[in-house]
Amino acid sequence: MDFESLKNKKINHVSKLIEQGQVCPEELTRFYLEKISNDPTAKDTFTEVFKRSALDSAIESKKRAKAGLRKGALDGIPISVKDLADVKGKITAGGSSITNKKKAENNAVFVDVLKSQGGIILGKTQMTELAFSGLGLNPITATPVNPFDAELVSGGSSSGSAVSVSRNYCLASIGSDTGGSVRIPAAWNNLVGLKTTHNIIDLTGVLKLCPSFDTLGPICKNVDDTNLLFSAMTNSRFQNLRNYGAGDLKFLIIKNMFFEEIDSDINDSFNVAIDKIITSGAKVEYKTISEIDIAFEISKTVFPAEAYGMWGHKIEKSPEKMFAPIRERFRSGQHILAHEYVLSLQKLFELRKSFLQKVEGFDAILAPTSPIKPPNITQLLDDHEVFTKQNLLALRNTRFANSLNLCALTLPTETHFSGLMLMGRPNNEFDLMSIALAIEKIK
């Protein structure tokens, strides 16, 4: 079996081959482990590869397949997880040198859920420091370079997760998204990334950045795989996505800030995608909505306040151990007063209600995932002002969904690094993925 040929196959297709005895989970796992071992760039993608435990899991999966006792579609499927998730007996570094270096006593809940369904965890992936950057640059541990241009970053903070899928080291990966950390690396690696509704997936055993906004989500090669991983992570019964026709759908494009300072290629790619959606029969409306600008201003208070509240005490013990622009971003929350934070958070909760009322009747909101392409690694290292500006710009469009607790998904377009973002109502992931599938099918 040429396992490289499975690169563009859906997980359900690979799963069927396992069920039919045409693919052996052990051989498939060995293929990925050997590929990772033989590729020098993989050391900057993975923090650790779990060769022994992955093979043990694969052997058990092979036995179940032979006995006709597979646990489901994920049984025997190799995946990676971001290094902010606890894996029993392993260190959770979170891309940082200031974190607790004790080995985890238990798996994160979602890791246990995936393993209980037969998923094979190949290893943990590199990430930006404490998940507080959208660029994917990490001079403290490692920077996974962009697979399409080694001079560019790959997006963060789930940088290694996206690169592990893009380089075909595994079939899917699990990242986290507090302000865009699944969607930006997915977009800059031409992948699908799902930002889930806050608390729809259990975060127990996951390193926290901003507990009011942290979410987990899959990074995959297509929408169907995303649905499979989301169903697995939520431990819910798998359902095939709805078969929407484009003519059934009505989209909103919000004009506010999503297109300011946008790269011309990304803007052109977005417009081409929208033209195709309209030509296919969908309705598209453009509006300006005041809640967008207000939420953007509030985010300048609540995100840094929570981040510094979580990590300030450790940062100030050893500030020299952090990359300066990340350290200073944390410190931007140092002097935000408690009453300012609480008042801002309450305003945000009110905005969520009024915003949903204004977008009633639309199936999804469309926007460019990020207004910029991945920046040059050397320039980011050499000029911290450039790093700060590019980081905030990279996260600008995505952070809105976290502020208003929307579910969101990025789709690749015809242009490298240019994601098409769909945003939907809270707890509406299944419908959002069904809509994304309809768009994915438009050629």
Instruction: Note the pTM of the prediction, 2 decimals.
Output: 0.98
Residue with structure tokens 């990925």? 32
Nearest alpha carbon to residue 374 among 288, 274, 248, 263: 263
Would you say 138 and 95 are in contact if contact means Cβ atoms under 8 Å apart? yes
pLDDT of amino acid 221: 98
Would you say 247 and 211 are in contact if contact means Cβ atoms under 8 Å apart? no
Partners of residue 46 on adjacent β-strands = 125
Task: Please indicate, yes or no, if residue 440 is contained in any of the structural domains.
Answer: no
Task: Mark whether 295 and 333 lie in a shared domain.
Answer: yes
Task: Mark whether 229 and 271 lie in a shared domain.
Answer: no
Task: Mark whether 217 and 253 lie in a shared domain.
Answer: no
327's enclosing H/E stretch is helix 324-331
Task: Mark whether 225 and 259 lie in a shared domain.
Answer: no
Task: Please indicate, yes or no, if residue 79 is contained in any of the structural domains.
Answer: yes
pLDDT of amino acid 100: 87
Task: Mark whether 164 and 222 lie in a shared domain.
Answer: yes
Task: Please indicate, yes or no, if residue 75 is contained in any of the structural domains.
Answer: yes
Which of 163, 198, 233 represents a domain boundary (last residue)? 233
Task: Mark whether 418 and 279 lie in a shared domain.
Answer: yes
Which of 233, 257, 292 represents a domain boundary (last residue)? 233
pLDDT of amino acid 1: 78
User: What DSSP assignment string belongs to 40-83?
Assistant: GGGGGTEEEE-HHHHHHHHHHHHHHHHHT---STTTT-EEEEET
CATH of the domain at 84: 3.90.1300.10
Backbone angles phi, psi at 18, to 5 degrees: -65, -45
250's enclosing H/E stretch is strand 250-254
Contacts of 68 (CB under 8 A, 6+ apart): none
pLDDT of amino acid 443: 77
Task: Please indicate, yes or no, if residue 317 is contained in any of the structural domains.
Answer: yes
Task: Please indicate, yes or no, if residue 4 is contained in any of the structural domains.
Answer: no
DSSP, collapsed to helix, strand or coil, labels residue 21 as coil
**Number of domains the chain is built from:** 2
pLDDT of amino acid 142: 98
H helices, E strands: number in the chain = 14, 11
**Parallel/antiparallel/unpaired status of strands 216-220 and 172-176:** antiparallel
Task: Mark whether 194 and 264 lie in a shared domain.
Answer: no
346's enclosing H/E stretch is helix 338-358
Task: Mark whether 213 and 257 lie in a shared domain.
Answer: no
Rounded to an integer, what distance in angstroms lies between the CA atom of residue 193 and that of residue 234? 16
Task: Please indicate, yes or no, if residue 124 is contained in any of the structural domains.
Answer: yes
pLDDT in tens, the chain (443 residues): 799 999 999 999 999 999 999 999 999 999 999 999 999 999 999 999 999 999 999 999 999 999 999 999 999 999 999 999 999 999 999 999 999 889 999 999 999 999 999 999 999 999 999 999 999 999 999 999 999 999 999 999 999 999 999 999 999 999 999 999 999 999 999 999 999 999 999 999 999 999 999 999 999 999 999 999 999 999 998 999 999 998 999 999 999 899 999 999 999 999 999 999 999 999 999 999 999 999 999 999 999 999 999 999 999 999 999 999 999 999 999 999 999 999 999 999 999 999 999 999 999 999 999 999 999 999 999 999 999 999 999 999 999 999 999 999 999 999 999 999 999 999 999 999 999 999 999 97
Task: Mark whether 172 and 261 lie in a shared domain.
Answer: no
Task: Mark whether 191 and 56 lie in a shared domain.
Answer: yes
Query: Which two three-digit tokens encode residue 209?
Result: 């950045």
Task: Mark whether 154 and 250 lie in a shared domain.
Answer: no
Task: Mark whether 255 and 165 lie in a shared domain.
Answer: no
Which of 186, 204, 233 represents a domain boundary (last residue)? 233
Task: Please indicate, yes or no, if residue 2 is contained in any of the structural domains.
Answer: no
Task: Please indicate, yes or no, if residue 437 is contained in any of the structural domains.
Answer: no
- Residue range of the domain that includes 137: 9-233
Residue with structure tokens 């981040």? 307
